Amino acid sequence: MAASSMVVSQFQGVTVVSFRGASIVDAMVVQAIGEQLSDIIDQQAAKRLILDFDVVRMMSSQMLGVLISLQKKAKEIKGRVVLCAVRPEVMKIFDIMKLTKMFEFAPSEAEGFRKLGF
């Protein structure tokens, strides 16, 4: 998956990041995604993010580290990150690593918007 297959859009102050590849495991790709997500928080000061994992079937522990870092940055600026449409095979990773309480989850992008007050 190339970093360019991560689509970023805005809607009424909410930044939506949709991952477009089934696998997020390549270290270079994960690093590029991490830099882009970090930029969304640091440079754009986005306080409400929805990360859409609808097509993602596999991700690396390095990607988990990126998400943990993003969550911490969002909290520092009193922001919120909602992970939506996380498939069961990916959700197992969050369960095994005991990260389900660290993140907010929604079954769909629409539900993610509802969690953010829409």
Q: State residue 44's pLDDT score.
A: 82
Residue ranges in the chain modelled with pLDDT below 50: 1-3
CA distance 69 to 73: 6
Q: State residue 3's pLDDT score.
A: 43
Nearest to 84 by CA among 58, 63, 104, 61: 104
Q: Tell me the average pLDDT of the chain.
A: 92
Q: Half-sphere exposure of residue 86, counting CA atoms within 13 Å on the CB side?
A: 19
Q: State residue 2's pLDDT score.
A: 46
| Annotated domain spans of the chain | 3-115
pTM above the 0.85 mark? yes
23 Cβ contact partners less than 8 Å away, ≥ 6 residues apart: 1, 56, 57, 58, 59
Superfamily of segment(s) 3-115: STAS domain (3.30.750.24)
Cβ pair 69, 34 in contact under 8 A? yes
Place of tokens 């988990």: 64
